[in-house]
Amino acid sequence: MLSVQEAEVFPGKRPNKADSHRRSVNSIEQRAQSKGLELTPERLEAIEFVQDFYEHCDDCKNARQLMNIMHQEFKDRGGKKYLYRLFPNGPLSTIHDLIDLPNLNNQVDLGFGTSY
């Protein structure tokens, strides 16, 4: 569930019933195999977190803010380090590719060598 503080960061949050359908696990598995990733329960949990997040957000396009929220969600397991171990090419980039979502603003910054 999204907190009040997160709602302030992403003011467009509200349940979006029209786009609330989940990407099928089969299509996610196919994309993961093409990237050489095994869909472990830990990876699926992170993917489901992003899917849940977008069910409550219409205009959330800031990669850094979403990464900060994910860091807090998975903090007990290591936060960003944990997520980068699961998705070495960048958690958000990989998850967005797997569930066929558009890229976020500043998702990759080659000037700084950053890939969320």
The token duo for 36 is 């050489």
Q: Which residues contact 15 (CB under 8 A, 6 or more apart)?
A: 55, 56
Instruction: Give 111's contacts (C-beta < 8 A, 6+ positions apart).
Output: none
Let me know: does 71 contact 22? Beta carbons within 8 Å: no
Under a CB-based contact definition with an 8 Å cutoff, are residues 46 and 91 in contact?
Answer: yes
Domain range for residue 29?
Answer: 4-115
Q: What are phi and psi of 74, to 5 degrees?
A: -105, 20
pTM exceeds 0.95, yes or no: no
pLDDT in tens, 52-104: 888 887 667 777 888 899 999 999 999 999 999 999 988 988 998 898 887 77
Number of domains in the chain: 1
Q: Is the separation of the CB atoms in 59 and 105 below 8 Å?
A: no
Confidence bin at 115 (pLDDT 50/70/90): low
Residue 65 CB partners (closer than 8 Å, separation 6+): 9, 10
Instruction: Give the residue with greater pLDDT, 3 vs 54.
Output: 54
